[in-house]
Structure 1
Amino acid sequence: MSSPHGLPVGLIWATRGRTWGFRFLADGGRPDPLAAYESAFGEVVDEGAAYHRDGDSAALRLVDPLGRADAAGRVIPHDFVLSGTLAAEVTSVEDGVRLVWPLVAEAYARVWDAPTAPTRRSLLGG
């Protein structure tokens, strides 16, 4: 099931852009997604792609599939907290690239090199 903006309901997505810092671009419908993010990523190391399943949710970190980097030259990571059907379908980083990345790729392409952090409207293509 998708939310009104086309992302799966319950998906938490945190990343950074070329010039704007790390932030949540999708909050999974939570008023404060940080607690769920910290819980999911508590066992995940800080560098590189990663997958960690914990009960009904999973932490997925993808290195930007197009190799985009921030202004400091660091390759951009995309952190996802998966739940529901998506968490059941994704069992590896490779699954994440195949199943999760296509869900956000177009939206991210619109905003990653913006001079300021995206608004919900710019993320949704408005």
Structure 2
Amino acid sequence: MSISPEPPNMIWATRGRDWGFRFLLDAGLSDPLPSYERAFGDVGDATTAWRRGDGHVALRIEDPLGRRDSAGRVIPHEFVIFGDLAGVVDSVGDGLLEVWPLVSERYSGIWNTSNPFIG
């Protein structure tokens, strides 16, 4: 089952080739950091992760195309997913199938730029 949420239904944090870790989607929150920190607080440092919380899912995936930043590190994508989509993401694999297609084109257009603004 594929659900296509509007971008405000999730927080998305990642980095690009030459720009550091930042929020590209903020779920409509004025400050997504507290929600992000709560969601990922006990996830650890694994390269991939999935955790269901109270009303959200925390998801971490490595860049599916294996893109790396200018220092050679694989780029992680971290999502805090809310709403209906959170109900269908039950694993990292589900995240790759359900979440990644929602942002992959946007990311392809900005990862190698100096300005990651996608608003």
Q: Which of 82, 100, 118 is 2:116 aligned to?
A: 118
Q: Which residue of 2 aligns with 1:54?
A: 53
Structure 1, unmatched stretches of 5+, are none
> In 2, Cα distance between the equivalents of 1:75 and 1:57?
25
CA-CA distance at 1:10 after TM superposition: 2.0
What is the TM-score normalised by the length of structure 1? 0.88
> In 2, Cα distance between the equivalents of 1:23 and 1:55?
24
Q: Which residue of 1 aligns with 2:17?
A: 18
Percent identity over paired residues:
53
> In 2, Cα distance between the equivalents of 1:110 and 1:57?
27
CA-CA distance at 1:56 after TM superposition: 1.2
Instruction: List structure 1 segments (4+ residues) > 4 angstroms apart after TM superposition.
Output: none
Is the 1:16–1:23 Cα contact (8 Å) retained in structure 2?
yes
What is the TM-score normalised by the length of structure 2? 0.92
Q: Which residue of 1 aligns with 2:107?
A: 108
Letter in 1 for 2:80: V
Deviations 1:28-78 (A, max 9, x none): 000000000000000111231100111211100010000000001000000
Q: Which residue of 1 aligns with 2:71?
A: 72
Structure 2, unmatched stretches of 5+, are none
Higher relative contact order (CA 8 A, sep 6+): 2
CA RMSD of aligned residues (A): 1.2
Is the 1:49–1:63 Cα contact (8 Å) retained in structure 2?
yes
> In 1, Cα distance between the equivalents of 2:43 and 2:115?
26
Letter in 1 for 2:115: A
CA-CA distance at 1:118 after TM superposition: 1.4
Matched residue SS, 1:80: strand
CA-CA distance at 1:106 after TM superposition: 0.2
> In 2, Cα distance between the equivalents of 1:14 and 1:117?
15
